[in-house]
C-alpha cells in the first residue's frame, strides 16, 4: 500500500504486519472458518493479550523496533516489562499550531471522506450510514460534513489526544467483533462491526465533533480516561496491541482540510501524520 509521508515529502510502500497470516484468514476457506470461530469472537485476543502482558513477551520488543525503525526518544521511559507496556508507551506530544488550526489526535494514516446529505459515507469499497458507526449518538446534524479516518499501524504510538478544548457530552461503547482494519477486510464493513467507543464532544473552535475509536484484530482493547472537561493535547486514551482506527465526524462548513491531504485522499492514498500536526483549520 502506498502512503505519503508529509515529514519526508515522499511516498513509500508500507510493510504490512502479519500480511501472510491475514491473507490466509481472509482469502481462504479454512482461514475464514478460523476467523469467525476463533479470532473475531475475542478468544484469541484474550489468550494473546495475556501473553503480551507477561514478561515472556519482552523478547519481541527489540526485533519489532528494529524492523519498523521506531524512534523511542520521545517516550517517557526506555524500559518495558512486557510487549504491552512497549506498545502502549506514553510519548511526549507537543504542538505549535494556532488555536483555530485542526491537529491530528494521533499518529496514523489519514484519509478524508465527504458525508452525504443522506448521512452516508463511502469508505474504500463500503458504504456506511452514520447511525451504523455511531450507535445511539445523534448524528442528524452532520449531513454534508466531513469524515476523517486515521488508521494506526502497529508501529505507531497508540495513545491519542483531544484535538481542541471542550467537554464530553455523551459516550457509548459498542461491543463487536475484532476484524483487521486493513484493506484486506474491506468487504466485512469493519467500522460498523468492530468493537468501538463513540464520543460526542463539544469543542471550543470546531463545535460538535463525534469521535469513534475502533478496535481491531488480535487485542484491540480500547481504554479511555474518565474525564469530562478537556484541553487540547490532553490524552483521551489508548489502544492495546493490534491495528486500530480513529474516526472523526465534523459538521458542514466547520473545517477546511489541508490541500495535500485532500489530494491524496482523492487519489486513494493515505497521508502519514503525527500527533499534534496541523491537518486543517476552522472555516468559522
Buried (b) or exposed (e) across 98-112, using 16+ Cβ within 10 A? eeebbbbbbbbbbbb
Looking at residue 13, its pLDDT comes to 85
Residues 137-186: tens digit of each pLDDT: 999 999 999 999 999 988 889 999 999 999 999 999 987 554 444 443 34
Q: What pLDDT does 38 receive?
A: 42
pLDDT in tens, 248-266: 999 999 999 999 999 999 9
What does the block give as the cell for 162? Answer: 483531544
User: Number of C-alpha atoms within 13 angstroms, CB side, residue 38?
Assistant: 10
More confident residue, 89 or 34: 89
Q: How much of the chain, in percent, has pLDDT values that exceed 70?
A: 78
**Average of per-residue pLDDT across 42-71:** 82
Q: Which residue do the cell numbers 476552522 mark? A: 282
Q: What is the pLDDT of residue 39?
A: 46
Q: Decide if pLDDT at 83 tops 70.
A: yes
Q: How far apart are CA 149 and CA 158, in angstroms?
A: 15
Asked if the model's pLDDT at residue 31 lies above 50, the reply is: no
- Check residue 30 and give its pLDDT: 47
**pLDDT for 220 beyond 80:** no
Listed by start position, the domains of the chain span 1-284
pLDDT at 206 over 80: yes
CB 68 within 8 A of CB 15: yes
Amino acid at each position: 500500500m502506498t502512503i505519503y509521508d508529509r515529514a519526508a515529502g515522499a511516498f513509500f510502500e508500507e510493510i504490512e504486519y502479519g500480511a501472510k497470516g491475514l491473507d490466509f484468514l481472509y482469502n481462504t476457506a479454512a482461514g475464514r472458518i478460523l476467523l469467525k470461530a476463533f479470532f473475531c469472537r475475542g478468544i484469541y485476543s484474550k489468550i494473546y493479550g495475556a501473553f503480551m502482558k507477561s514478561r515472556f513477551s519482552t523478547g519481541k520488543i527489540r526485533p519489532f523496533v528494529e524492523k519498523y525503525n521506531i524512534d523511542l526518544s520521545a517516550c517517557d521511559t526506555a524500559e518495558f516489562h512486557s510487549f504491552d507496556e512497549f506498545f502502549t508507551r506514553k510519548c511526549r506530544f507537543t504542538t505549535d499550531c494556532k488555536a483555530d488550526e485542526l491537529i491530528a489526535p494521533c499518529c496514523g494514516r489519514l484519509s478524508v471522506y465527504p458525508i452525504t446529505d443522506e448521512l452516508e459515507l463511502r469508505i474504500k469499497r463500503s458504504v456506511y450510514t452514520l447511525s451504523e458507526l455511531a450507535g445511539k449518538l445523534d448524528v442528524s446534524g452532520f449531513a454534508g460534513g466531513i469524515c476523517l479516518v486515521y488508521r494506526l499501524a502497529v508501529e505507531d504510538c497508540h495513545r491519542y489526544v483531544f484535538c481542541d478544548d471542550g467537554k464530553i457530552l455523551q459516550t457509548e461503547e459498542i461491543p463487536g467483533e475484532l476484524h483487521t482494519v486493513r484493506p484486506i477486510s474491506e468487504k466485512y464493513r469493519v467500522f460498523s462491526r468492530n468493537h468501538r467507543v463513540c464520543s460526542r464532544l463539544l469543542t471550543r473552535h470546531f463545535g460538535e465533533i463525534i469521535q469513534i475509536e475502533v478496535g481491531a484484530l488480535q487485542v484491540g482493547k480500547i481504554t479511555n480516561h474518565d474525564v469530562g472537561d478537556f484541553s487540547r493535547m490532553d490524552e483521551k486514551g489508548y489502544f492495546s496491541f493490534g491495528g486500530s482506527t480513529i474516526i472523526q465526524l465534523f459538521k458542514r462548513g466547520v473545517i477546511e482540510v489541508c490541500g495535500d491531504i485532500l489530494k491524496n485522499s482523492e487519489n486513494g492514498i493515505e497521508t502519514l501524520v503525527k500527533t499534534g500536526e496541523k491537518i486543517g483549520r476552522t472555516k468559522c
